[in-house]
Structure formats: C-alpha cells, structure tokens
C-alpha cells in the first residue's frame, strides 16, 4: 500500500527482452521503500505480461493512453504529476527515437512529456542498433535535455552477439536512481544508529524502551539527501528505513556494537541516535521462564557503550551523540560531550512523554565552545537542520549562535 511518504517511481517498460530484468528492478525498488507504478509500451507487454508487473508492484499496470476505464482512476496527467522519478528500463532504440522527437503517440511517451520529474533511461538493444548514428544522436540529444542514462553495458547479448547494448543490471539502475548526489555531505560516508535495542530475558521476553527510531531514520534520510552514502544500523524500529540507505538490522546492544564496528571503515560521520540499552540480563534463559515464584530478580550487566568506543578510536570519524535527559538538560549533555570526547551532542528533554516515540522534538545541540537551540518541530525538519549544522561544523565553516 502506498503511504504517501515514499519515493514515487514511475517505471516505463519498452519492448526489449531485457524487460525480464525489470521484474527484479521492481522488487528491489519496493525493498528500498519506493512506491512503483508500471507503464508498458505495447511492445513491452509482448515480452512480459502486465499481470507480472501488477503482481510485483502491487498496482494496476497501464499500457494504453486512450483507456477510458483506467483514465477515470488516475488519468495520465495525474500519473505524470504523481511521479517523483521516471525510469525507463529497457529503453529501446525506438523508444529513445520517439522521446528524442518529442512524440506522444502512446501512454509512456505522453507521460515523459507531461512530467516534471527527472527521467532516467536504461538503454537496451542489439549492439548494431546502439552504435547506429541515429541512436547515438538521439542519446546525445536526450542527455542535452537533462535525461540521465545508466548503461548500456558491454557483453553477451540475447541476440547472440557481443558488444555494447546490454541493459544495466537492476542494482546499477537502482544506484543511478537513488544513489548519492550533490549536497553538503556529497562524497561523505555516514553511519547512523537508530531505534531501541531488545535485551532478551528468555525466548519471548526482553528489556526494551519506547524509542521508535524516527529520529535516526529521519537523520539517515536527511544525510542521504545531503549527498552522503548512508548506512543505518537499527534496532527493532517502528518506521521503515529510508529509500537509498543501506540498512543493517541489529536487535541487541552487543549485535548493534558488532554491526557498527564492521561498518565503520572509511566512515566520515558517526551519529549515535539509537536508544541503546545500558544493561542486559546476565543470562538469557533457553526456555520460557515459568511464573512459579512470587518474586523473581533479573541480574543485569552493562552493555558496551558504542558511542564511547567509536569516539575513542584514532583515527575516528566526526562523532555526534544524543542525550536523553529529564533534568538539567544542558548541564548533563555538556558533561557527556566532554566525558565521551564527542564533537557534538544533541540533547532531548524526555520528561513527561516528550521526544521518545513521538513525531516531533526539540533539541539543544552542544559542541566544544558553542551551542544552538532547535525549537519543537517535526523530526524530519529537525533532522535536516541538524545535518546541515553537522556538515558546516565538519567542514570547519562558521556557525552562528555560538557562545
Ligand atoms: O550515556 P548515555 O547513554 O546517556 O549516552 C547517550 C548516547 O550514547 C546516545 O547517542 C546513544 O546512542 C549512545 N549510546 C551508545 N551505546 C550505549 C549507550 C548509549 O552508543 N550502550
């Protein structure tokens, strides 16, 4: 089901045998959290049935422009507006020629004229067709108009020949569509922890907390939008990891620590937004505990402090921690900044049900020699503002509101 927050991708399927690879592309786009609607050319529908793409995308597939029934649902202009991105895979020689000529002689070409979304093409054709001056000229013309291309690749072709014209692999198309772009964190690698951890008592019970993971997930999306390559190590979160971010699941403090360690190489920025349990049961019962006794005690031991561990490394990334406090927010947070040797700390007031598990938050952000207050606002807006501040401090740029 579409939720309205995910990236909306209109996938066009041209008439080439590489259309079979686009089934995998739909699957991967959906795994990455995108909403996908498929539009096929008549020739495309001869290679793979619309029913296949309907099942994979979970949405009706459109082929015809003048389909009265389909137009009464989401008409072609509404569909063109719906899309955040258009990707055509495979883009055949004929389709590229029609797009270059500005034709609107079927639904897919009409949508490409009617949309304001960026268009990405994955050309796929026989090598001689690809090398033909007409195709090469269309390719150049489309690029000059701002259409982006991924592939084609060289290698064995379905027609038995070897050469350029193979459609890019789904992973490469996905990366071209969602991968790092420009922005204040362009080219930077960012590792973020998010969500609660669950420390098992027995096979069904655990010690946990109310964290939803929303702040960490919003930070991951903001870092991605700022151009970074983002890895999100997350506990059992109640929101989906963002599109275009590499998500690594880790349930316990120890497994989160291990996941952070194994993804730390080459990281420029580490943001610890996870609400990691400070203690775990010393032992985990193999079988479900029975309620025989009137009282029982669970002995707890400390978990590793992931943030302090990363901050103590040399060399180390720029390190940002969070502090959840119910009293003396600024005092406790500044002490934590110094004790853990952080570059920055973002302090939340978590008294009276604030911040944790909610959609809005306010932050007091401290760094050695400065601070800034972010008033209460939706977590995604707050995340964008915080990422901007972090990027400025990382690049040694001036920040206002310092004391
Ligand atoms: O010391 P305190 O738990 O209040 O510090 C909170 C910060 O430390 C948060 O950024 C949290 O993600 C991080 N932390 C951690 N590993 C722990 C406990 C906290 O990374 N075991």
Atom of ligand 1 nearest to the CA of 271: 10
Q: Which of 276, 304, 336, 350 to mutate to test the pocket of ligand 1 (most atoms within 8 A of CB)?
A: 276
353 CA distance to ligand 1 centroid (A)?
Answer: 19
pLDDT score at 359: 82
Nearest to 321, CA basis, from 287, 282, 367: 367
Q: Ligand 1: which atom is nearest the Cα of residue 274? A: 12
* Class of the domain covering 189-395: alpha beta
Span 77-89, pLDDT tens digits: 999 999 999 999 9
What is the pLDDT confidence band of residue 403, given thresholds at 50, 70 and 90?
Answer: very low
Residue 288 alpha carbon to ligand 1 centre in Å: 30
| Whether residue 402 has pLDDT greater than 60 | no
* Class level of CATH domain 8-178: alpha beta
Q: Which residues pair with 323 in a beta bridge?
A: 347
Indicate whether 208 pLDDT > 70. yes
pLDDT of amino acid 39:
98
Q: What percent of the chain has pLDDT over 90?
A: 76
SS3 29: helix
Per-residue pLDDT tens over the stretch 383-399: 999 999 999 999 886 66
Q: Which atom of ligand 1 is nearest to the CA of 309?
A: 20
Task: Quote the ligand 1 centre to 310 CA distance (angstroms).
Answer: 11
Instruction: Write the CB contacts of 260 (distance below 8 Å, at least 6 apart in sequence).
Output: 191, 193, 233, 270, 306, 310
Q: What pLDDT was estimated at residue 180? A: 58
What is the arithmetic mean of pLDDT over 96-107?
A: 97
The reply to whether ligand 1 has any atom less than 6 angstroms from the CB of 256 is: no
* CB 305 less than 6 A from any atom of ligand 1: yes
Predicted local confidence at residue 107, as pLDDT: 97
More confident residue, 68 or 155: 68
What's the pLDDT score for residue 399? Answer: 62
Atom nearest to 303 CA in ligand 1: 21
Q: How confident is the model at residue 267 (pLDDT cuts 50, 70, 90)?
A: very high
Query: Is residue 260 within 6 Å of ligand 1 at its C-beta?
Result: no
User: Where do the structural domains in the chain lie, given as residue ranges?
Assistant: 8-178, 189-395
pLDDT score of 225: 77
pLDDT in tens, 294-330: 999 999 999 999 999 999 999 999 999 999 999 999 9
Residue 121 has φ and ψ, to the nearest 5°, of -115, 140
* pTM (2 d.p.): 0.64
Ligand 1 centroid from CA 35, angstroms = 34
Q: Same topology for domains 8-178 and 189-395, yes or no?
A: yes
Q: Residue range 176-202: average pLDDT? A: 88
Greater model confidence, 332 or 32: 332
């Amino acid at each position: 089901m579409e939720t309205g927050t995910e990236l909306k991708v209109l996938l066009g399927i041209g008439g080439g045998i590489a259309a079979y690879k686009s089934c995998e592309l739909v699957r991967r786009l959906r795994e990455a959290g995108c909403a996908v609607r498929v539009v096929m050319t008549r020739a495309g529908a001869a290679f793979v049935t619309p029913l296949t793409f309907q099942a994979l995308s979970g949405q009706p597939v459109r082929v015809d422009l003048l389909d009265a029934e389909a137009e009464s649902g989401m008409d072609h202009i509404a569909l063109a507006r719906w899309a955040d991105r258009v990707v055509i895979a495979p883009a055949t020689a004929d389709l590229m020629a029609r797009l270059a000529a500005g034709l609107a002689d079927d639904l897919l070409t009409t949508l490409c004229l009617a949309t304001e979304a960026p268009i990405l093409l994955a050309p796929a054709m026989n090598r001689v067709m690809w090398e033909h001056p007409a195709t090469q000229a269309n390719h150049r013309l489309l690029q000059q108009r701002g259409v982006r291309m991924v592939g084609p690749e060289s290698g064995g072709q379905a027609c038995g020949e070897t050469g350029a014209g193979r459609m890019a692999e789904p992973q490469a198309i996905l990366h071209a569509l969602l991968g790092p772009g420009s922005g204040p964190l362009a080219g930077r690698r960012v590792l973020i922890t998010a969500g609660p951890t669950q420390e098992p008592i027995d096979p069904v019970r655990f010690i946990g907390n109310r964290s939803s993971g929303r702040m960490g997930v919003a930070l991951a999306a903001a870092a991605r939008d700022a151009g970074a390559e983002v890895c999100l190590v997350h506990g059992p979160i109640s929101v989906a990891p963002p599109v275009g971010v590499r998500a690594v699941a880790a349930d316990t403090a120890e497994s989160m620590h291990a996941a952070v360690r194994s993804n730390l190489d080459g990281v420029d920025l580490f943001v610890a937004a996870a609400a990691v349990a400070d203690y775990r049961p010393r032992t985990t019962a193999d079988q479900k505990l029975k309620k025989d006794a009137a009282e029982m005690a669970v002995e707890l031991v400390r978990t590793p402090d992931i943030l302090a561990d990363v901050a103590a490394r040399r060399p180390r990334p720029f390190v940002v921690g969070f502090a959840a406090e119910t009293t003396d927010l600024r005092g406790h947070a500044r002490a934590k900044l110094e004790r853990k040797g952080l570059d920055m700390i973002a302090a939340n007031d978590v008294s009276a049900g604030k911040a944790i598990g909610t959609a809005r938050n306010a932050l007091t952000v401290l760094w050695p020699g400065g601070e800034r207050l972010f008033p209460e606002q939706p977590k995604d807006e707050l995340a964008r503002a915080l990422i901007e501040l972090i990027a400025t401090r990382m690049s040694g740029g001036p920040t206002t509101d310092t004391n």
